Amino acid sequence: MKKVEIGFWGIESILEFVTIASKCKEKMNLSCGDSLVNAKSLLSVLSLASVEGVELIIQEDSCDSLLRRLELYVEHGRLIGSKKIVM
């Protein structure tokens, strides 16, 4: 299992993410707090779209090619994470 923080930057990015995710055989979910949703479901992803700290959970270890396709989302998640204020 692999977990990475991801981020979205608009509706187009969500649509593209779901398109990529739905073409993959790996089982994946998005998690934020107590919410866990199917990463291949557009409505589910939209429910978390405006939330920061969204984590992508991929149920298989050998998912490097998938992570390469989702690199922009992972990078955006890192940018969002680096802007958080720590107190």
User: pTM, whole model, 2 decimals?
Assistant: 0.86
Strand residue runs (E) in the chain:
2-6, 28-32, 35-38, 54-58
Residue 85 clears pLDDT 50, i.e. is over it: no
Q: Can you give the pLDDT at residue 50? A: 76
pLDDT in tens, 13-42: 999 999 999 999 999 999 998 999 999 999
Sign of CA dihedral 2, 71, 82, 6: negative
Helix (H, G, I), strand (E, B) or coil at 1: coil
pLDDT in tens, 53-63: 899 999 988 88
The b/e string for 9-39 (b: 16+ C-beta within 10 A; e otherwise) is eeeebbeebbebbeebebebbbbeeeeebbb
Q: Can you give the pLDDT at residue 20? A: 95
| Structural domains of the chain, with CATH | 2-82 (3.30.1340.10)
